[in-house]
Amino acid sequence: MKKKFILLTTFIVFICSISSIWAEPNVSSPSAILMDAKSGRILYEKDADIKRFPASTTKIMTAILCIEHGNLDDMVTIGTNPSLVERGSSQIYLIPEEKLTLEQLLYAMMLESANDAAVAIAEHISGSAEEFAKLMNERAKELGAQNTNFVNPNGLHDDNHVTTARDLALIAKHGMTLPKFREVVNTVKYTIPETNKQPVRDYITNTNKLIWKSNKKYSYEYAIGIKTGYTVKAKNNLVAGALKEGTELISVVMAENGISDSSNVYSATKELFEYGFSSYSNKNLLTKNQVVTTIMLPGSDEKMNLLAAEDYDLLVSNEEIPKIESSINVIDKIKKPIEKNQVLGFISYSLDGKEVKKIDLLSAEELLAPEKSAKRFLKWLLWFFILYILWRTFVVYSRYLRKKRRKREAPVLFMNRRRGRLW
């Protein structure tokens, strides 16, 4: 009886552990999303399209534009606006006429969340914070962030300064494709050397506690950074990235209740990541230059291999693997000439009937048109004939020279023989 009870208990614990792994996260935050950083596939979402105040997560876009439009070695002279940011907000207390590099301002903005550094960057890139906000909105639309409106470069509250969890994930996804952005957001501490106005700033520390190795309460071993945000009206926001065994995820948690250092936003983010890593894995579907199919060229007996234009992995759960479908489409009426790596079709992958990726299929080799093939043959034949003529000319001329030399040497040889000497 006791043995049966132990077995039953073990079985129940096993079943519960499996269900806890596969169950969707119980996130209390008003808005949240979990995205595959490579494909952009959404693994979890909760009210991800409701417009909310982003607070300092705004600086993700400011950092992107700083890297894409600026020279990080530029020396920036601080204007008058950085010192006029909201009193009590995060800043490094820049002084007018102080000189720092654009890179130093970038680190100050993304780690210390310095609002004055964000304004200095905006003025350096666009001349004013207002003009920079226009650039921010243009870039947001290009990245697919359709429900975003930026008013300033730092996220200090404005009723018209809004975004969504989905939009923030899309913006962060792009940011993490920039090597300098990845480096900055995963840096825990940074030092700004002495400037012409102020001593060394050695206190620059990342506000994202997920990457703090010394704080086990908040840290997450797979975290690779990004950005926190907090204002009274926005509440707690956290955009985070995590990388485990080749799978990279981006999470967004918005409007989490609590004071600015509340642990709720971190626990919710960790729960999202654990759900993603335990429930999904990368399945390789294609390898670049893999032969996907072989086609017969119309009107001939020639065949052509079609190759995959790129590698493709899809992040899926085990339950979804049987639901992956693919279809191959080849261009109608393919005719010679065909160049190598010419697009001749595509392979489309779908999951649950919804297309998730379309990849070009390329020709494996070059095939010339019949008339061009004939012309090429005649060209090579002509070159062969010319080379043959040159070779025969060389051979005949060499023989001629040998005969001529023998005739010159014959009388001398005859005289030497008569004298009994043979040279």
Write out the catalytic residue numbers: 56, 59, 113
Cα distances (angstroms) measured from residue 313 to each of 279, 349, 359:
16, 11, 12
Place of tokens 């297309």: 355
- Tokens 């799978």 label which residue? 247
- The burial class, CB within 10 Å (0-12 / 13-18 / 19+), for 352 is exposed
SS3 123: helix
Residue 19: both structure tokens together: 């269900």
Alpha-carbon distance of 146 to 152, in angstroms, equals: 17
Element at 22 (helix H, strand E): helix 2-22
- Tell me if 357 sits within 8 A of 39, measured CB to CB: yes
Q: Which amino acid is at 65?
A: L
Place of tokens 């007018």: 96
Please give the helix or strand (H or E) that residue 192 lies within, else none. Answer: strand 189-192
Q: What share of the chain is helix, strand, coil (3-state, %, to 5)?
A: 40, 25, 35
Task: Decide: 140 and 30 in contact? Cβ < 8 Å.
Answer: no
Q: How many of the other CB atoms lie within 10 Å of CB of 68?
A: 15
Are 139 and 150 in contact by the 8 Å Cβ rule? The answer is no
Is the Cα torsion angle 116, 122, 128, 132 positive or negative in sign?
negative
- Number of H-type helices and E-type strands within the chain: 9, 16
With CA atoms as reference, report the closest residue to 114 among 126, 127, 98.
98
Closest C-alpha among 207, 181, 217, 158 to residue 66: 181
CA atoms within 13 A of residue 147's CA, in its CB half-sphere: 15
- Inter-residue contact 162 to 140 (CB < 8 Å): no
Q: What separation in angstroms does the CA of 224 have from each of 88, 186, 206, 209, 373?
A: 29, 5, 12, 11, 56
